[in-house]
Amino acid sequence: MIKRILTGDRPTGPLHLGHYVGSLQNRVRLQHEYDTYVLIADVQALTDNFEHPEKLGDNIFQVALDYLAVGLDPEKVKIVVQSMVPELAELTIYFMNLVTVATLERNPTVKEEIKQRNFVKGVPVGFWSYPISQAADITIFKADLVPVGEDQLPMIEQAREIVRRFNRLYDKVLVEPRAMLGAVARLPGTDGGAKMSKSLGNCIYLGDSAEQVRKRVMSMFTDPTRIHPTDPGHVEGNPVFTYHDVFNPNKDEVEELKERYRKGTVGDVEVKQKLFAALDAFLAPIRERRAEFAAKPKHVHEIIMEGTRKGRALAHQTMAEARTAMKIAYKFE
Ligand code: TRP
């Protein structure tokens, strides 16, 4: 049987280069080999944006545009809106019995996110428990493979544990998913910080104009120990070179720049200009496709609705099997 992919994104804004190398690239590469579902996780986005639900509608549209822009084929890939599949909420509730409070409290990604966010009234239960809902996202579609960035590994592990418990306790209906990391599991931010993150303002977005990309690149952090262009510089851990390695297909140029940088015979400006050229060559076709789809919003809405309809049908089927396995498919006639 053809294997299935499920992965997704929170619609908190447009997607950036970190999303691309972490996961989007794998989806595009594998979409013809796998039955692919991509979830726009608006319910999860609400867990820390519940005060601004009015932004979700547009953000869902923007994320769908990014999917189509990078080359997800709407004839193949099902784009599914999470809140329109109520079966997900149902499965989440049943999964809650299979997870302990202690396990949730150990999730390193959630811990880190709680630190970053300033929950003044305390951590919402919905946010703290979102790994359970994410396990439902993955398993309701019986996904074999989940292409994600490194930060999502604890979620996949949580999903695997739940599947094992469910299948052992009730019946073997769920599939244990495997994570697949991107070519670059974690792309640093333009500020050299650990990762690109909207809240840190260190992102290059897939839909950014050439001018926005140029500005971001020219203001990137480089080697903090280097004062003059004639100082020998460090290439390792220097985000400008990390990006060159990932996005500049001209490996000879990159090697030459690295050599000159180490010797102190090239300035940051030249290295950045060449990075901008490489990034823009990569982003220009994406930007163009994005604009084409953005000009046909009704078409995009149809793609979303069709994907969601197919996703819901599959979710409905799995829920029926899960209820039967749990012996709660009552026949009170
Ligand atoms: N947690 C993911 C993120 O922050 C989004 C997500 C929701 C997801 N459901 C998923 C990812 C299921 C993979 C599988 O980007």
For residue 133, the Cα-to-chain-centroid distance in whole angstroms is: 16
**pLDDT score, position 53:** 97
Band of residue 75 on the pLDDT scale cut at 50, 70, 90: very high
Categorise residue 264: left if φ over 0, alpha if ψ from -120 to 50, beta otherwise.
left
Band of residue 273 on the pLDDT scale cut at 50, 70, 90: very high
Question: Domain count of the chain?
Answer: 2
Average pLDDT over every residue of 50-71: 97
317 inside domain: yes
Q: What dihedral do alpha carbons 79, 153, 146, 10 form, nearest 10°?
A: 0
Q: For residue 6, give the ligand 1 atom closest to its CA.
A: 14
Q: Are residues 140 and 262 in the same domain?
A: no
Q: What is the domain-level CATH number for residue 230? A: 1.10.240.10
Interval between CA 201 and ligand 1 midpoint (Å): 21
212 inside domain: yes
Q: Are residues 126 and 236 in the same domain?
A: no
**pLDDT score, position 184:** 84
332 inside domain: no
Interval between CA 23 and ligand 1 midpoint (Å): 10
198 inside domain: no
CA 249 to each of CA 30, 189, 213, 276: distance values in angstroms, whole numbers, following the listed order: 21, 20, 18, 13
Q: Are residues 282 and 306 in the same domain?
A: no
Band of residue 198 on the pLDDT scale cut at 50, 70, 90: confident
**pLDDT score, position 217:** 97
Q: Are residues 302 and 279 in the same domain?
A: no
Pair 161, 130: CB distance under 8 Å: no
Q: At what angle do helices 56-70 and 268-294 cross, to 10 degrees?
A: 110
The rounded distance, in Å, linking the Cα atoms of 284 and 265 is: 30
Q: Are residues 226 and 275 in the same domain?
A: yes
The rounded distance, in Å, linking the Cα atoms of 268 and 265 is: 10
The pTM score is: 0.95
196 inside domain: no
Structure tokens at 321: 């099997």
Q: Are residues 238 and 280 in the same domain?
A: yes
Q: What is the domain-level CATH number for residue 72? A: 3.40.50.620
The one-letter code for the residue type at 23 is: S
Structure tokens at 62: 């923007």
Structure tokens at 31: 């979409």
**pLDDT score, position 258:** 97
Q: Are residues 35 and 133 in the same domain?
A: yes
Provide DSSP, 240-263: HHHHHHHH---HHHHHHHHHHHHH
For the chain, give the mean pLDDT: 96
Band of residue 1 on the pLDDT scale cut at 50, 70, 90: confident
Band of residue 294 on the pLDDT scale cut at 50, 70, 90: very high
Q: Are residues 13 and 113 in the same domain?
A: yes
193 inside domain: no
Task: Please tell me the least confidently modeled range out of 57-66, 94-103, 224-233.
Answer: 224-233
**Residue range 136-165, pLDDT digits in tens:** 999 999 999 999 999 999 999 999 999 999
- CA-nearest residue for atom 11, ligand 1, is 8
- CA-nearest residue for atom 10, ligand 1, is 8
**Residue range 157-195, pLDDT digits in tens:** 999 999 999 999 999 999 999 999 998 877 999 999 988
For residue 26, the Cα-to-chain-centroid distance in whole angstroms is: 11
Domain with 281, as residue range(s), is 207-290
Interval between CA 175 and ligand 1 midpoint (Å): 17
Q: For residue 44, give the ligand 1 atom closest to its CA.
A: 7
**pLDDT score, position 22:** 94
User: By 3-state DSSP, what share of the chain in percent is helix, strand and coil, each rounded to 5?
Assistant: 60, 10, 35
Q: Are residues 173 and 215 in the same domain?
A: no
The contacts of residue 322 (CB under 8 Å, 6+ apart) are: 91, 94, 166, 170, 173, 174
Band of residue 126 on the pLDDT scale cut at 50, 70, 90: very high
Interval between CA 41 and ligand 1 midpoint (Å): 7
Average pLDDT over every residue of 98-117: 96
**Residue range 211-251, pLDDT digits in tens:** 999 999 999 999 999 999 899 999 999 999 999 999 999 99
Average pLDDT over every residue of 103-109: 98
**pLDDT score, position 234:** 95
Interval between CA 203 and ligand 1 midpoint (Å): 19
| Half-sphere exposure in the Cβ direction for 67 (13 Å, CA) | 31
Pair 21, 246: CB distance under 8 Å: yes
For residue 203, the Cα-to-chain-centroid distance in whole angstroms is: 14
Provide DSSP, 280-321: HHHHHHHHHHHHHHHT-HHHHHHHHHHHHHHHHHHHHHHHHH
CA 104 to each of CA 98, 109, 131, 288: distance values in angstroms, whole numbers, following the listed order: 11, 10, 8, 42
**pLDDT score, position 200:** 87
Band of residue 199 on the pLDDT scale cut at 50, 70, 90: confident
Interval between CA 225 and ligand 1 midpoint (Å): 37
Pair 176, 164: CB distance under 8 Å: yes
Residues with CB under 6 A from ligand 1: 6-10, 39, 41, 44, 134, 137-138, 146, 148, 152
**Residue range 29-54, pLDDT digits in tens:** 999 999 999 999 999 999 999 999 99
Average pLDDT over every residue of 252-266: 96
Q: Are residues 172 and 215 in the same domain?
A: no
Interval between CA 213 and ligand 1 midpoint (Å): 26
Tell which one of 47, 66, 152 to mutate to probe ligand 1, the residue whose CB is within 8 A of the most ligand atoms.
152
Tell which one of 4, 36, 109, 148 to mutate to probe ligand 1, the residue whose CB is within 8 A of the most ligand atoms.
148
333 inside domain: no
**pLDDT score, position 333:** 81
* Lateral strand order in the sheet of 4-9: 78-81, 35-40, 4-9, 145-148, 178-181
- CA-nearest residue for atom 3, ligand 1, is 9
Helix locations, 47-179, DSSP H: 56-70, 87-95, 101-106, 108-116, 125-128, 130-140, 153-169
The answer to whether residue 201 scores a pLDDT higher than 80 is yes
Q: Are residues 174 and 233 in the same domain?
A: no
The contacts of residue 168 (CB under 8 Å, 6+ apart) are: none
Q: Are residues 33 and 167 in the same domain?
A: yes
Interval between CA 234 and ligand 1 midpoint (Å): 35
Average pLDDT over every residue of 113-136: 95
Q: For residue 143, give the ligand 1 atom closest to its CA.
A: 14
319 inside domain: yes
- CA-nearest residue for atom 15, ligand 1, is 9
Band of residue 197 on the pLDDT scale cut at 50, 70, 90: confident
Based on C-alpha coordinates, what's the Rg of the chain?
Answer: 22
Interval between CA 19 and ligand 1 midpoint (Å): 11
